[in-house]
Amino acid sequence: MARVTYIFGVLLILVGLVGYFVTGSAHPTALIPTWFGLAMVVGGFLAVSPSESRRKLFMHINVTIGLVGLIGAVASALHGYGHARSLGIDPDYKAMTAQLTMAGLLLIYVNLCVRSFIQARRSRQV
């Protein structure tokens, strides 16, 4: 799962950088996916270990980072949409696209991690 963490971390970094440059480098909050991606890449690096307890610890930390990012991205997208609509204006579709892309990636990542944890637990019980 550490390699999967690397991949999703790099994808989040790309989402953040693309979002930042698409907005004309005017909105530094567009880099939020980049920071989550960077944390996941570092966590993935730390999860590569022959020690099972260390690997488990860092993968659980990584999935927690992913879950916090998922909840934050969904909440931010919903808040931005609701706020714009309450003012009677169109929402910032570029920001919403980046937030929902981040949420989608993290939803897939968290799902893969949970499945991996369940499979690992079942294999130990046999």
In order, the DSSP letters of 109-121 are HHHHHHHHHHHHH
Each residue's pLDDT tens digit, 3-61: 999 999 999 999 999 989 987 777 888 899 999 999 999 999 999 988 889 999 999 99
- Share above pLDDT 70 across residues of the chain, in percent, rounded to a whole number: 99
pTM metric for this prediction: 0.90
pLDDT at residue 101 above 90?
yes
Q: What is the 3-state secondary structure (H, E, C) of 25-56?
A: CCCHHHHHHHHHHHHHHHHHHHHCCCCHHHHH
Q: How confident is the model at residue 108 (pLDDT cuts 50, 70, 90)?
A: very high
pLDDT for position 92 = 87
Q: Sketch the domain layout of the chain as residue ranges.
A: 2-125
> Is residue 94 over pLDDT 90?
no
